[in-house]
Chains A and B, each alone.
Chain A
Amino acid sequence: MPLFILRYQMNGLSKIVVDSKRNSLRIGFKDLKNYSDLFYILAYKDLRVRYAQTFLGIIWAILQPLATLMIFILIFGMIVKVDTQDIPYPLFAISGISMWTYFSFVFSQSGNSVIGAQEMIKKIYFPRLVIPLSKAIVGFVDFGLALLMLVVLFLVYGFAPSTNLIFAPLFILLNIVTALSFGIWLSALTIRYRDFHHIIPFLIQFGMYATPVAYPGRLVPDKYQFLYNLNPMAGLIEGFRWSLFGGNPPGIYLFMSIIVILLLFISGLIYFKRVEEIMADII
């Protein structure tokens, strides 16, 4: 059923109109802005709770990418001997791992977030979108630590980053949007069909092999390149590497990734909005 919510200022008071007959594709940015503090506080709560009563605390956030890095160095660097041209393999791998770690963390956290907040949703109003969106902030801690490892490896190998480095923030931004797009889609789908809850870990595991995290994307045969690049993370990680190490600039596939990401993001917001209206009833 359609729902129409509009807020505007009248006599200094905000006005809320809820009409069952009118439909709206409004995302309610104004409403989100009113709840911006909630956004930060939910992220703070997650960070505080995540390592509460653990002995190693924040060290866990370093151990996970470090372990992945070790395995990659062993398998792809030493056994398979993946050709990364003149980039030292550990440096190559950690650049992919840092981006993928952020993506998979935010994707799985936000994908499961709405189900996890069902008690709140049944009892009180607030823009539901705040819940998956706040996970983007939580992921910064792990991402920051992975980037720190990247910087350390740059220093260890005495490798000078490329001048393309100024484009790195763009790829990081795109990574945030991609992770949120998947997260928003999955969080809304999980509310309606719990089956999707089980799909998330599968997608992440499968996705890591379908993305150039441990190996360079050019190893994929040309005839499969188009299909391969439908995965927006492929273009992003290749682009991020280009900004760090230089080489061939990203071509048409990066634009394709950006279009896929924007389509996923906008459709995700619209779908989430539609599910939001019936969320409290079906959760």
Chain B
Amino acid sequence: MSDSLVKVEGIGKRYKIGRRKSAEMRETFSNFLTLLKLRTTNNKFYEDRESEFWALKDISFQINEGEAVGIIGRNGAGKSTLLKLLSRITKPTTGRFEIHGRVGSLLEVGTGFHPELTGRENIYLNGTILGMRRAEIKSKFDEIITFSGVEEFIDTPVKHYSSGMKVRLAFSVAAHLEPEILIIDEVLAVGDAEFQKKCLGKMEDVTGQGRTVLFVSHNMRAVSQLCDRAILINEGKAVYSDKSDAVIEKYHEFLSNNNQGNKYIENYPLNKSVILNSFSLKENELRTNEVVEFNLNIESNSINHITDLSLLIFDDNYVRVGIVDLRSNDLFERSKISQNVSIKGAINNLPLIEGTYKIGIFIYSNLCHGNFNDLLEIKILPRNSDFLKYSKSARGIVDLNFSSIVC
């Protein structure tokens, strides 16, 4: 096709793992000795330790001008490696690709920010690193500052900025890059809600202007909104490519096929010192507004002082629909300062419309903190009803009751 802006032909990337750098030098030295015929055989010792791993294998696709393409897949599927290859951070082991036009990548916002420099200086520094010319930055300078919302502090060293301000400034620089092809990896996860909205708006502008975009995200809603087409990657291979909604559906199907323990999980390590002994639901198929009983047991190798613990509930687009704050639970109060925390409880009613939801946990303690999003799955079946319901997409997320009052 003559108008394809990106043409990827069978690219693959191999990494060598489990190899130490000092061994590499010894190996080079030993090869050198072999070369000089000072030794007859090469030392096999180093080769045995080396193992290979294909992060990507035989990926081919084309992107036409003005298309926005989403790349989806589980963590470690190879999405980020693909973007690294296309943005030329590293080179492919096999295959070739062609890109017509300037590539701008938003792999990580704020790369190259220097804390001692002022906001103004960092705009220039960051912009040129991203591939902009100084004159180009100058012409967009006011726009960049206005978008970032840090006008007042533009001549203050960035080390005095809050992390939110830094992210806003960095994103603002990146968003004003005007490449023919824009590569984006998960940057929408940053900043406060207000700023995320601004960013999504900017993204819509960019795709609306007919810019070609390659977008990697876990946010299925954003992929579905912004991308015409998507590619599903699993274990380094492109397994499915179609209209984005079809691919997202395939991805969910794929996730549930690969997820046997959706009613309970056992021995799930949260980090090296804390383990989720068991986390289970009594039932994982129920109807709207029914009681959800659960069991949670966390064990650690030393005293785990838990200050926060919540269940997180996500819909199938990974939008958080609610949390269950377990700090109020009596059991939790008694066992929180120990090596074993056990909670048995129930969500009294779950007013969600039919669909599949994921349950994760959020924990904050001296040993471990973070969101663990994808632990259990719960299926809500349609509520029996005597009247014809609207379609699922029309009804939002929460199922609300109504009773009329006669005046």
Tell me the A residues contacting B by CB distance below 8 Å: 1, 3, 5, 10-11, 13-21, 34-35, 37-38, 40-42, 44-45, 48-49, 52-53, 119-126, 192-195, 277-282
- Complex Cα–Cα for A282 and B112 (A): 20
Residue from A40, A45, A120, A279 whose CB has the most chain B CB atoms within 10 Å = A45
Q: A1-B93, A49-B116 are in contact. Are A15 and B98 (CB under 8 A)?
A: yes
Scan B78-113; emit 1 where CB is below 8 A from any A CB, else 0: 000000110111111111111111110101100110
Q: A16-B98, A20-B11, A192-B24 are in contact. Are A123 and B121 (CB under 8 A)?
A: no
**CB<8 Å pairs between A and B, sample of 17:** A5-B88, A15-B101, A18-B97, A19-B96, A20-B93, A21-B96, A44-B121, A45-B125, A48-B117, A49-B116, A120-B129, A121-B89, A124-B111, A124-B130, A278-B90, A278-B91, A280-B90
Please tell me if the beta carbons of B112 and A120 are within 8 angstroms of each other in the complex. yes
Q: Select which of B99, B107, B124, B131 is within 8 A of A41 by beta carbon.
A: B124
In the complex, chain B residues 132-163 whose Cβ is within 8 Å of any chain A Cβ: 133-134
Q: For B133, what are the chain A residues with a Cβ–Cβ distance below 8 Å? A: 37
- Complex Cα–Cα for A154 and B16 (A): 60
Q: Select which of B92, B102, B117 is within 8 A of A49 by beta carbon.
A: B117
Please tell me if the beta carbons of B128 and A14 are within 8 angstroms of each other in the complex. no
Q: For B96, what are the chain A residues with a Cβ–Cβ distance below 8 Å? A: 17-21
Rounded to whole Å, the gap between the CB of B10 and the closest CB of chain A is 9
Please tell me if the beta carbons of B105 and A48 are within 8 angstroms of each other in the complex. no
Q: Known A-B contacts: A123-B108, A125-B88. Give 5 more (CB < 8 A).
A: A20-B96, A35-B131, A45-B117, A124-B111, A193-B21
Please tell me if the beta carbons of A13 and B105 are within 8 angstroms of each other in the complex. no
Q: For B254, what are the chain A residues with a Cβ–Cβ distance below 8 Å? A: none
**Nearest-CB residue, chain B, relative to A280:** B90
**Nearest-CB residue, chain A, relative to B29:** A193
Please tell me if the beta carbons of A123 and B25 are within 8 angstroms of each other in the complex. no
Q: Select which of B93, B95, B116 is within 8 A of A48 by beta carbon.
A: B116
Q: For B46, what are the chain A residues with a Cβ–Cβ distance below 8 Å? A: none
Please tell me if the beta carbons of B121 and A45 are within 8 angstroms of each other in the complex. yes
Rounded to whole Å, the gap between the CB of B96 and the closest CB of chain A is 4
Q: For B101, what are the chain A residues with a Cβ–Cβ distance below 8 Å? A: 13-15
Rounded to whole Å, the gap between the CB of B336 and the closest CB of chain A is 38
Q: For A10, what are the chain B residues with a Cβ–Cβ distance below 8 Å? A: 100
Q: For A41, what are the chain B residues with a Cβ–Cβ distance below 8 Å? A: 124-125, 128, 134
**Nearest-CB residue, chain B, relative to A50:** B116
- Complex Cα–Cα for A280 and B124 (A): 24
Q: Select which of A16, A21, A48, A281 is within 8 A of B99 by beta carbon.
A: A16
Please tell me if the beta carbons of B114 and A18 are within 8 angstroms of each other in the complex. no
**Nearest-CB residue, chain B, relative to A52:** B116
Q: For B105, what are the chain A residues with a Cβ–Cβ distance below 8 Å? A: 124-125
- Complex Cα–Cα for A41 and B133 (A): 11
Is B372's beta carbon under 8 Å from chain A?
no
- Complex Cα–Cα for A122 and B133 (A): 22
Please tell me if the beta carbons of A38 and B128 are within 8 angstroms of each other in the complex. yes
Q: For A13, what are the chain B residues with a Cβ–Cβ distance below 8 Å? A: 100-102, 180
Please tell me if the beta carbons of B89 and A120 are within 8 angstroms of each other in the complex. no
**Nearest-CB residue, chain B, relative to A46:** B114
Q: For A21, what are the chain B residues with a Cβ–Cβ distance below 8 Å? A: 96
- Complex Cα–Cα for A44 and B95 (A): 39
- Complex Cα–Cα for A14 and B125 (A): 23
Rounded to whole Å, the gap between the CB of B107 and the closest CB of chain A is 5
Is B32's beta carbon under 8 Å from chain A?
no
Please tell me if the beta carbons of B95 and A20 are within 8 angstroms of each other in the complex. yes
Please tell me if the beta carbons of B114 and A49 are within 8 angstroms of each other in the complex. yes
Top-8 shortest CB links A-B: A19-B96, A125-B88, A280-B90, A38-B128, A3-B91, A13-B101, A37-B134, A52-B116
Q: Select which of B11, B89, B95, B114 is within 8 A of A125 by beta carbon.
A: B89
**Nearest-CB residue, chain B, relative to A122:** B89
Q: For B125, what are the chain A residues with a Cβ–Cβ distance below 8 Å? A: 41-42, 45
Please tell me if the beta carbons of B24 and A119 are within 8 angstroms of each other in the complex. no
Is B268's beta carbon under 8 Å from chain A?
no
Q: For B61, what are the chain A residues with a Cβ–Cβ distance below 8 Å? A: none
**Nearest-CB residue, chain B, relative to A1:** B93
Rounded to whole Å, the gap between the CB of A248 and the closest CB of chain B is 42
- Complex Cα–Cα for A234 and B102 (A): 45
Q: For B92, what are the chain A residues with a Cβ–Cβ distance below 8 Å? A: 18, 20
- Complex Cα–Cα for A113 and B180 (A): 31
Q: A193-B24, A281-B15 are in contact. Are A18 and B88 (CB under 8 A)?
A: yes
Q: For A40, what are the chain B residues with a Cβ–Cβ distance below 8 Å? A: 134
- Complex Cα–Cα for A261 and B112 (A): 32
- Complex Cα–Cα for A13 and B84 (A): 22
- Complex Cα–Cα for A15 and B90 (A): 18
Q: A18-B88, A20-B91, A193-B24 are in contact. Are A37 and B128 (CB under 8 A)?
A: yes
Rounded to whole Å, the gap between the CB of B372 and the closest CB of chain A is 26
Rounded to whole Å, the gap between the CB of B234 and the closest CB of chain A is 22
- Complex Cα–Cα for A202 and B91 (A): 34
